[in-house]
Chain A
């Protein structure tokens, strides 16, 4: 690891001051992704601001009937929180589908949003990568790309976002509260992560001097008919090849509202509300689910090794919706 200096912030305002005061500074909380990337020289901040002592580690009810997850609550404490388990089981299941017990005890909810891609070329400093080194080229497009993106890609980057939690947050339409030198603002999850375009080195719309303070879950948690389906190479501790967060609001067999978000297929959790709307007022049948799946993958593009993901994602959507309908959330 390259040498750096270290200070500790005790409240949100001092954290923002510290990050603006130092050159090439980063916040550190769980550290599970940042320190890992610093060890292999993919990230090299000159200063770390430790934010773990800031009081952002509670889960509280919001005035509109939702739940506010403090940015520094650990992933395990979130997944195992009584209210999250009961009212937002989709979040619990998604979190528990990722990483390991040890990592989830360290990783924070705010940090989960800021995970960098797991594209192998991003990790391999011997190869070009536009995300790691802007303008150097993308090794993945014509290289080995079995795990990489099929939706929303650009000629500069086909990386995927690795988070499971964020896929569930996208399906539930969570919003992210942040504080910067100019004050507070709220970013809907759909606008938080970016598509690569010609700036793949910028993952999110969070500014360098802004800190995430909390994540708001809306009152509607789809706690009855939901599923988080994660397809991967091992049953545990592996990133998603394709994942689906599915949630249904039903009136008998008729769908009042459907939510679908995909992981492992794009630079951000992939949601397409106009395709979801096709299910509104429809019967919960395999045929209708397949129609939506087709619409979701419209415009998908494979790069050779990952061509299989297009059909896999469609089938995953159908299966996830069936599981959600049948109340097989954990299956």
Chain B
């Protein structure tokens, strides 16, 4: 027997500031920031891995702080300064952390890399990592199934030495 679905709640207008640009959208309230980025704005650099805040592939920066974009609603991030991996390069130059991932061979398949890069920048902004153990602990929210961890840690070390987060 066919069941009739109840009518869906209406879409709601929301203005998101992403990579310095204002984006006006009409979204269902249950749209995650991650889905808004990928499905509505076609910014597919931010990846969907587990969709439960465990893998870190969806990491973006909000007001300079790293968060899991899968565990927040787009509506909740209105008027915040959102930076995705697409917003890191300036004037055709890669962000130093992006360049460091290439120079250190810090990825294999690359799926986790945008989240790793945003997480490294967030970690440097936090200014709390002092030792190798700190780095490993503070990067535990980013899983790399290819196992490029050794070189990812090198990237973080370099970034901390340069303190080049923006």
Question: Which of A's residues lie within 8 Å of B, judged by CB?
Answer: 1-6, 8, 28, 31-32, 35-36, 38-39, 48, 50, 52, 76, 80, 99-103, 105-106, 234-237
For A36, the chain B residues whose CB sits under 8 A away are 52-53, 71
What is the CA–CA distance of A94 and B78 in the complex, to the nearest angstrom?
31
The 8 closest A-B pairs by CB, nearest first: A100-B141, A6-B29, A236-B140, A237-B140, A105-B65, A236-B137, A102-B141, A5-B9
Asked whether any CB of chain A lies closer than 8 Å to the CB of B150, the reply is no
Q: Are B76 and A28 in contact (CB under 8 A)?
A: yes
Question: Which of B75, B126, B137, B141 lies in contact with A103, CB distance below 8 A?
Answer: B141
Question: Which of B's residues lie within 8 Å of A, judged by CB?
Answer: 8-9, 12, 28-30, 32, 51-53, 56, 59, 65-68, 71-73, 75-76, 119, 122-123, 126, 128, 136-141
For A4, the chain B residues whose CB sits under 8 A away are 9, 29-30
What is the CA–CA distance of A3 and B67 in the complex, to the nearest angstrom?
24
Question: Which of B59, B71, B76 lies in contact with A50, CB distance below 8 A?
Answer: B76
What is the CA–CA distance of A229 and B75 in the complex, to the nearest angstrom?
38
For B140, the chain A residues whose CB sits under 8 A away are 100-101, 234, 236-237
Question: Which of B59, B126, B137 lies in contact with A76, CB distance below 8 A?
Answer: B126
Q: Are A32 and B29 in contact (CB under 8 A)?
A: no
With contacts defined as CB atoms under 8 Å apart, how many contacts are there between chain A and chain B in the complex?
89
What is the CA–CA distance of A32 and B66 in the complex, to the nearest angstrom?
14
Given A36-B71, A237-B141, the answer on whether A103 and B53 have CB atoms closer than 8 Å is yes
Interface residues of B: mostly helix, strand, loop or mixed?
mixed
**5 interchain pairs, CB-CB under 8 A:** A3-B28, A3-B30, A32-B71, A100-B140, A101-B123
What is the CA–CA distance of A234 and B136 in the complex, to the nearest angstrom?
12
What is the CA–CA distance of A35 and B74 in the complex, to the nearest angstrom?
12
Measured CB to CB, the closest approach of chain B to A155, in angstroms, equals: 31
Given A100-B140, A102-B119, the answer on whether A50 and B75 have CB atoms closer than 8 Å is yes
- Identity of the chain A residue whose Cβ is nearest the Cβ of B5 in the assembled complex: A3
What is the CA–CA distance of A3 and B123 in the complex, to the nearest angstrom?
35
Q: Are B126 and A52 in contact (CB under 8 A)?
A: no
- Identity of the chain A residue whose Cβ is nearest the Cβ of B133 in the assembled complex: A235
For A28, the chain B residues whose CB sits under 8 A away are 73, 76
Measured CB to CB, the closest approach of chain A to B104, in angstroms, equals: 20
What is the CA–CA distance of A38 and B138 in the complex, to the nearest angstrom?
27
For B136, the chain A residues whose CB sits under 8 A away are 235-236
Q: Are B66 and A105 in contact (CB under 8 A)?
A: yes
Measured CB to CB, the closest approach of chain B to A235, in angstroms, equals: 7
What is the CA–CA distance of A52 and B73 in the complex, to the nearest angstrom?
12
Q: Are A105 and B71 in contact (CB under 8 A)?
A: no
Question: Which of B30, B66, B137 lies in contact with A1, CB distance below 8 A?
Answer: B30
Given A5-B29, A48-B29, A235-B137, the answer on whether A103 and B68 have CB atoms closer than 8 Å is yes
Measured CB to CB, the closest approach of chain A to B64, in angstroms, equals: 10
Measured CB to CB, the closest approach of chain A to B2, in angstroms, equals: 19
